Amino acid sequence: MGLTEIDLHKELKKYFGFSQFKGLQEDVITSIVNGHDTFVVMPTGGGKSLCYQLPALIQDGTAIVVSPLIALMKNQVDAIRSISSEYGIAHVLNSSLNKTEVNQVKADIDSGVCKLLYVAPESLTKEDYVDFLKHQTISFLAVDEAHCISEWGHDFRPEYRNLRHILQRIGDNIPVIGLTATATPKVQEDILKNLGITDANTFKASFNRPNLYYEVRPKTKNVDADIIRFVKKNDGKSGIIYCLSRKKVEELAQTLQVNGIKAVPYHAGLDAKTRSRHQDMFLMEDIDVVVATIAFGMGIDKPDVRFVIHHDIPKSIESYYQETGRAGRDGGEGHCLAFYSYKDIEKLEKFMSGKPVAEQEIGHALLQEVVAFAETSISRRKFILHYFGEEFDSETGEGADMDDNVQNPKNQHEAKDDLEL
């Protein structure tokens, strides 16, 4: 389909009801519709899904969307089903489907009504699926959360490494779209190399989130009480509290409940039903707070999360940025509060000690950046954006005054002393 024949604004309105594109969406979509390999780096909430959903809906054939989590695929398929069933449908192909369901999916691809096929990368390796898809019209392959391909990313998935090879088996000249919210130059290089897209059209949005307030406090033995005080002050607002271990998640959720806060735990040790019930309770606002491990949040689209607390400091700046990025997606207030103690860094170092040396080295380098961030006395926003290769003017940049270091300047030495508690 040539671009001259379509009015993208009209299509946007028709399928999604929006009257304007967000940020770089229109340029990205133009690139995809023209059949170019395309690489999109946009922060969380930037509207990456629509970048491939709209082209998929308006083009012939089926777009394959690789996505790392079933919950995430389900979210998106539900959303597509609610807006555009008359124009085409979306399916998920994964190991939970029975034979009849798989046949239905195949029939809908074959007849051309299935516009978006969401798959986990491990499903794509199944001979049966590859053989089937080989004979279908595939509009493009979108690799969402493409940083999963890189060991330097915060969520490495070995299965992502096979994608290029599988794609070659499905067909020649299928355009590839990589999308990620991880902006570090290293991860981006890895993605392009592994997907084999050397001459991609690349679109990179700014990672500044001017409405987020960044704060790091020393972590003492009273950290739970500090958290309770903070949550009570923000009564009725939605928030996420991240902890490192499942055990701590359970404990803290209970402590909050005992203190009259509507909170539930979320971690990978809970069964799927409980997890999705707790997720729904949060989305429906039956509860205010989810206490979670990193298992929670990827792709969760709740626009009015008002705070993200890190009970434990994350293992990289990317993780910190991703997790805090779930606050204030609607542009409203978003308070990001992290508790930091060097002891936690030592703990994280220790966790890694059993891993292969190369992995340890990466992990150590990432952690050193976290230490530098936690202990810095410069603008936290400037620090984060610099990490992502972006210049930020901490005098005049958007959101310049939105962090603890800017509001209460203190010298580096004092800041360090605080942390020995």
Stretch that binds ligand ADP, among 42-50, 108-116, 254-262, 347-355 (CB under 6 A): 42-50
3-state SS, one letter per residue, for 167-225 = HHHHCCCCCEEEEECCCCHHHHHHHHHHHCCCCCEEEECCCCCCCEEEEEEECCCCHHH
Other Cβ atoms less than 10 A from the Cβ of 160: the count is 24
How many positions of this chain bind Mg ion (CB under 5 A)?
1
Stretch that binds Mg ion, among 43-51, 234-242, 307-315, 345-353 (CB under 5 A): 43-51
Stretch that binds ligand ADP, among 47-55, 109-117, 253-261, 275-283 (CB under 6 A): 47-55
Rounded-to-integer distance, Cα 294 and Cα 209, Å: 21
The residue (of 48 and 106) whose beta carbon lies closer to ligand ADP is: 48
Binding mask 245-284 for ligand ADP (x = CB under 6 A): ----------------------------------------
The residue (of 196 and 210) whose beta carbon lies closer to ligand ADP is: 210
Using the rule CB under 6 A, which residue among 38, 44, 188, 394 binds ligand ADP?
44
Q: Is 159 in the site for ligand ADP (CB under 6 A)?
A: no
- 227: closest CA among 267, 268, 259, 266? 259
Rounded-to-integer distance, Cα 250 and Cα 410, Å: 35
Amino acid identity, position 96: S
Q: Is 147 in the site for Mg ion (CB under 5 A)?
A: no
Q: Is 329 in the site for Mg ion (CB under 5 A)?
A: no
The residue (of 25 and 188) whose beta carbon lies closer to ligand ADP is: 25
The residue (of 45 and 363) whose beta carbon lies closer to ligand ADP is: 45
- 175: closest CA among 141, 152, 130, 134? 141
The residue (of 87 and 230) whose beta carbon lies closer to ligand ADP is: 87
Write out the two tokens for 319: 């993780």
Residue by residue, DSSP assigns 390-420 as: ----TTTSTTTT-BHHHHS---HHHHHHHTT
Q: Is 248 in the site for Mg ion (CB under 5 A)?
A: no
On whether the CB atoms of residues 46 and 205 are closer than 8 A, the answer is yes
Unique residue bearing structure tokens 């979306």: 90
Write out the two tokens for 89: 């449908």
Q: Is 48 in the site for Mg ion (CB under 5 A)?
A: yes
Closest residue to Mg ion using C-beta atoms: 48
Residues in 1-40 that interact with ligand ADP by CB under 6 A: 18, 20-22, 25
**Strand runs (DSSP E) across 206-363, as ranges?**
212-218, 238-242, 263-266, 289-292, 305-310, 334-340
Residues in 170-189 that interact with ligand ADP by CB under 6 A: none
Q: Is 326 in the site for Mg ion (CB under 5 A)?
A: no
Q: Is 121 exposed, middle or buried (0-12, 13-18, 19+ CB in 10 A)?
A: buried
Q: How far is the CB of 85 from ligand ADP (least distance, A)?
A: 17
The residue (of 45 and 175) whose beta carbon lies closer to ligand ADP is: 45
On whether the CB atoms of residues 380 and 216 are closer than 8 A, the answer is yes
Q: How far is the CB of 10 from ligand ADP (least distance, A)?
A: 13
Binding mask 298-337 for ligand ADP (x = CB under 6 A): ---x------------------------------------
For 182, half-sphere exposure in the C-beta direction (CA atoms, 13 angstrom radius) is 29
Write out the two tokens for 206: 């700014």
The binding site for ligand ADP (CB under 6 A) comprises: 18, 20-22, 25, 42, 44-50, 301
The binding site for Mg ion (CB under 5 A) comprises: 48
